Amino acid sequence: MAKISEYLGGSAVDNVKKAIVAAKSVSKYNSLLELCEERALDLAAKVDAGEIKGRLAGVPFVAKDNFLTFGSKTTAASHFLENFEAPLQATAIEKLEAEGAICIGKSNLDAFAHGGSTENSAFGPTLNAADETRVAGGSSGGSAVATALGVVPFALGTDTGGSIRQPASFNGVVGVKPTYGMVSRYGVVAMASSTDTIGCFASCAEDAELVMDIIAGHDDLDMTTLPDYFDPTTLDMPKRVGIIKEFMSDDVDEDVRNATRTYATKLEASGFTVSEVSLPMLKYTLAMYYIIVPAEISSNLARYDGVRYGVRAETNDLNELYGKSRDQGFEAENKRRIMIGSYVLSSGFFDAYYLKAQKARTLLINEFNKAFEDYDILMGPVSPTPAFKLGANSSDPMKMYLADIMTVGASLAGLPAISVPAGVSADSLPIGVQLIGQRRSDALLLAVAKSQEGK
Ligand code: GLN
């Protein structure tokens, strides 16, 4: 893996060339869908000429292919947007470029970010960085693997229900899902607007902190953004850590539980108090998530109608144009979610499903708030198992959804949560531990992770 500091001060053109060679040498992992060589080298020349300066001057990175960027297509790993060239750039990309960082490529994902393995990509799965027979995790699998393989020192991803934390855990890198509203989502393909967040992958917490500091903050182009709360400089180190009881049951892989306990022991040795906390509402979070998120997906994906973007079926009949374009452009998982979402929002079922799920979500938020009266940080595993085998869950959506049980809670409550490497399983697969904080405690979570690195 590579650190940001290794790239600072050198030649930006050399950095970009090196990253592109590295990307090509690991192409069998399918972590990147496209390289933006020409634009990256242009920007690098500007950095070397002193025209662009900043905290990430000449540092290469990759962005998940649901970020709108210049210099490449933006496909969301779907056939629908296979040839889509963005007319604008995402705010997060603009902010990074303003600090001299250079996007060298676009990374693979589950199409429209629907999934947890990157197997739903229209362009083939990404392979796990530690074991090529296993999934990369997802949906931001390509970004996690490119970081883990050292192609780039950091990568951007999106996390709606675990899509940064879970692949970070599966590939042994740090993954940050910020507080809802912390980072502008302008110019990022929408999935579920009430839980979509933007964050990053890096080899260490310090690098992740720098990237988050740059991309966080209010944006007039995203009305859900908060004022600038990300401030790593004024922190009171928290002391009280709660291990989430519901995430440590016998159903969870033993190596995963042991890695969590070992991390807790390290925290105790550093002066934290660790005790068990129960949040009974967590067992309903998958049910809530897989009602609320498809509902929002069915609404957000209505814009892909064959008229405005991407695939356009050949027909003169408008209804047929909508139907055929959507049939040709969307992957099976996209269609499944659109159908579930339309169903739970339909007039006969709205109260029974969508409304009830939203009420349960409020109870979950209340329960988290209550837990944070006694604890500064909650912790647990990221995923019930290390990376599973390619194909193991892909024909069974329920099995795939169940793997999200530990990440969707923080998403529904809008809380910041990070995944930090916490050792490996008996068969050498990376395992991550999850730290969840109160809203706007993003910088604090990273400070805790930093304090434990190398211990
Ligand atoms: N695996 C989850 C899902 O399929 C999370 C996806 C995401 O965060 N984009 O919905």
Q: Per-residue pLDDT tens for 265-291?
A: 999 999 999 999 999 999 999 999 999
Q: Which of 162, 139, 136, 163 is nearest to 149 (CA)?
A: 136
| Cα distance between residue 139 and residue 296, in whole Å | 17
Closest atom of ligand 1 to CA, residue 115: 4
Write down the mean pLDDT value for the chain.
97
**Rg of the chain, C-alpha, whole Å:** 21
Distance between the two ends of the chain, CA-based, in angstroms? 18
| Cα distance between residue 146 and residue 237, in whole Å | 32
**Burial of 325 per CB tally in 10 Å (0-12, 13-18, 19+):** buried
Q: Which residue has the tokens 């837990």?
A: 371
* 239-258 average pLDDT score: 97
Spatial neighbors of 23 by CB under 8 A, at least 6 apart, are 32, 35, 62, 104, 105, 146, 151
Cβ proximity of 195 and 180 under 8 Å: yes
DSSP secondary-structure letter at 352?
Answer: I
* 369-398 average pLDDT score: 96
Quick one: pLDDT at residue 230? Answer: 73
In this predicted structure, the answer to whether residue 448 has a pLDDT above a threshold of 90 is yes
In this predicted structure, the answer to whether residue 83 has a pLDDT above a threshold of 90 is yes
In this predicted structure, the answer to whether residue 319 has a pLDDT above a threshold of 80 is yes
Quick one: pLDDT at residue 233? Answer: 66
Cβ neighbours, 10 Å, residue 106 = 28
Percentage of the chain beyond pLDDT 90 is 96
Ligand 1 site, residue 162, Cβ cutoff 6 A: yes
Has 356 been annotated as catalytic? no
* 39-58 average pLDDT score: 98
In this predicted structure, the answer to whether residue 301 has a pLDDT above a threshold of 70 is yes
pTM of the full structure: 0.98
Ligand 1 site, residue 141, Cβ cutoff 6 A: no
Least confident of 47-51, 97-101, 335-339, 442-446: 442-446
DSSP secondary-structure letter at 225?
Answer: P
Q: Per-residue pLDDT tens for 166-182?
A: 999 999 999 999 999 99
Q: Ligand 1: which residue has its CA nearest to atom 3?
A: 115
In this predicted structure, the answer to whether residue 443 has a pLDDT above a threshold of 80 is yes
Mutate to test the pocket of ligand 1, among 107, 112, 139, 289 (most ligand atoms within 8 A of CB): 139
Spatial neighbors of 21 by CB under 8 A, at least 6 apart, are none
Kindly indicate the confidence band of residue 237, based on its pLDDT and cuts at 50, 70 and 90.
confident
Quick one: pLDDT at residue 285? Answer: 98
In this predicted structure, the answer to whether residue 120 has a pLDDT above a threshold of 90 is yes
Quick one: pLDDT at residue 229? Answer: 73
Catalytic-labelled residue, pool 78, 107, 121, 139: 139
Spatial neighbors of 238 by CB under 8 A, at least 6 apart, are 272, 376, 377, 441, 444, 448
Ligand 1 site, residue 175, Cβ cutoff 6 A: no
| Cα distance between residue 425 and residue 404, in whole Å | 19
Helix (H) or strand (E) holding 267: helix 254-269
Strands (E), 253-318: 273-277
Strands (E), 112-239: 154-159, 174-177, 197-202
Mutate to test the pocket of ligand 1, among 135, 160, 176, 388 (most ligand atoms within 8 A of CB): 160
Quick one: pLDDT at residue 61? Answer: 99
Residue ranges of alpha helices (H) inside 26-160 are: 37-48, 91-98, 141-148
Query: How many contiguous H segments (helices) and E segments (strands) does the chain have?
Result: 14, 11
Mutate to test the pocket of ligand 1, among 65, 107, 117, 293 (most ligand atoms within 8 A of CB): 293
Q: Per-residue pLDDT tens for 129-186?
A: 999 999 999 999 999 999 999 999 999 999 999 999 999 999 999 999 999 999 999 9
DSSP 353-403: IIIHHHHHHHHHHHHHHHHHHH-SEEEEESSSSSPPBTTSSTT-HHHHHHT
Quick one: pLDDT at residue 228? Answer: 76
* 441-454 average pLDDT score: 93
